[in-house]
Amino acid sequence: MRKSDPSRTRRTVTRSSRRGLTLLESLIATTILSVVVLAVAAALNASQKLAYEGRQRVMGVNAADDMMVELMTVPYAELKTYNGLTQAPGAMATIDGTAYPETYTNIGRSVEVVAENITEPGMGITVAGVMITVRADDGDHTLAELSAFRPEPQS
């Protein structure tokens, strides 16, 4: 017969004392991790899109402002010849024909010059001139629109 040694007791393993990760726990952890990764990726994508749109809008304002500044240097009698000027995205150039850099590839612009009289009711003065409107777009959306009144010079 075998003698039992009290110092050597047999340890019984019960289900509650086991250590480890079950398949269900692994699946839940994987699902949670996947959702977090997708949320972070969506946030990064949205922020990149907003940054791109902001950059395009700034470039559009710069392009419209450049054209407006150029038109303000043109002699008044020649301004009406620029009415209807359209430069498609990727084909922008200064009035003297210098092409814009590649950073402006996705931006186009158009010019409208319309004769207009502005009256100051308090003083009863009417000023004749032209309203110049410059629009910059990306082919689908207007990025910027600038308008300025240029009075007819007095002779």
DSSP run (H or E) holding 114? strand 108-120
Structural domain boundaries of the chain?
19-151
d(CA 110, CA 102): 19
pLDDT at residue 31, as a whole number: 96
The token duo for 93 is 């150039």
d(CA 6, CA 92): 95
Portion of the chain with pLDDT greater than 90, in percent: 68
Q: Is 46 exposed, middle or buried (0-12, 13-18, 19+ CB in 10 A)?
A: exposed
pLDDT band at 15 (very low <50, low <70, confident <90, very high): low
Buried b (16+ CB within 10 A) or exposed e, 87-97: bebeebeeeee
d(CA 17, CA 132): 83
Condensed to tens digits (0 to 9), the pLDDT of residues 23-64 reads 889 999 999 999 999 999 999 999 999 998 899 999 999 999
Condensed to tens digits (0 to 9), the pLDDT of residues 64-84 reads 999 999 999 999 999 999 999
Condensed to tens digits (0 to 9), the pLDDT of residues 126-144 reads 999 999 999 999 988 999 9
Span 100-129, average pLDDT: 92
Strands 142-151 and 86-87, bridge-based pairing = unpaired
